[in-house]
Amino acid sequence: MSGAAPTPAARRAGWLKQLHQWHWISSAICLIGMILFAATGITLNHAASIEAKPAIVSRTAQLPAELAASLKPAAGESDRKAAVPAPVRAWLAKTLDRAVDSRDAEWSRDEIYLALPRPGGDAWIRIARDSGEIEYEDTDRGWISYLNDLHKGRNAGVAWSWFIDVFAAACLVFSITGLLILKFHAVSRPSTWPLVGLGLVIPALLALLLIH
């Protein structure tokens, strides 16, 4: 004999248990990220008031003759974008103590310009193609700028971009399951929907009345 069909109360309890499980799992996944994004939301909102003193390092160097010769422009060469040759990248990384990857640089007849932006800072390398002279500058804007750039996904790479997508999905699950849990408890908690409504009405009024 098959068991008796579950009662509405039993089905409700089953759904509530499932929602609670999804809610705490998603909250655990996005907890640290939520703290990071909430804190950097404050620092970004007050960026003009937070004093930053960038640390700038400038250096010059000279490519060895054989490497410099490999960069000399050919007759009729036009401007282009391409990676710096691997032997030159390896020499730059060792000499400047700075990782140089295979990203595209800007090639003109006079110079090669390689931009190396990163969260919280910036860097660039300029190579004179006729002489092999190198100029290098690195700017570090500090930890607050670093975290702010992570918040925006600025120059943080593909892996961080994927993290933001996974984090956003976890936040959606956390928020939607929280809303459904509120729905289950709203009968015994009369203030539930007025408070949820305030969360919608307050930003809507601010946007309509005070943002121009």
Confidence band of 1 (pLDDT split at 50, 70, 90) = very low
- Residues 8-20: pLDDT tens digits? 778 888 888 999 9
What ranges do the domains of the chain cover?
Answer: 15-50+144-190, 55-141
What pLDDT, on the 0 to 100 scale, is given for residue 76?
81
pTM for the model stands at: 0.82
What pLDDT, on the 0 to 100 scale, is given for residue 52?
80
What pLDDT, on the 0 to 100 scale, is given for residue 4?
65
Residues with Cβ within 8 Å of residue 170, at least 6 apart in sequence: 26, 29, 30, 33
Residues with Cβ within 8 Å of residue 45, at least 6 apart in sequence: none
What average pLDDT is seen over the chain? Answer: 92
Which tokens in the block code for residue 175?
A: 């928020």
- Residues 65-76: pLDDT tens digits? 999 999 999 888
- What region does 50 belong to: left with phi over 0, alpha with psi -120 to 50, or beta? beta
Rounded CA-CA distance 127/61 in Å is 9
Residues with Cβ within 8 Å of residue 142, at least 6 apart in sequence: 52, 53, 54, 55, 120
- Residues 76-122: pLDDT tens digits? 888 999 999 999 999 999 999 998 999 999 999 999 999 999 999 99
Which tokens in the block code for residue 97?
A: 């103590």
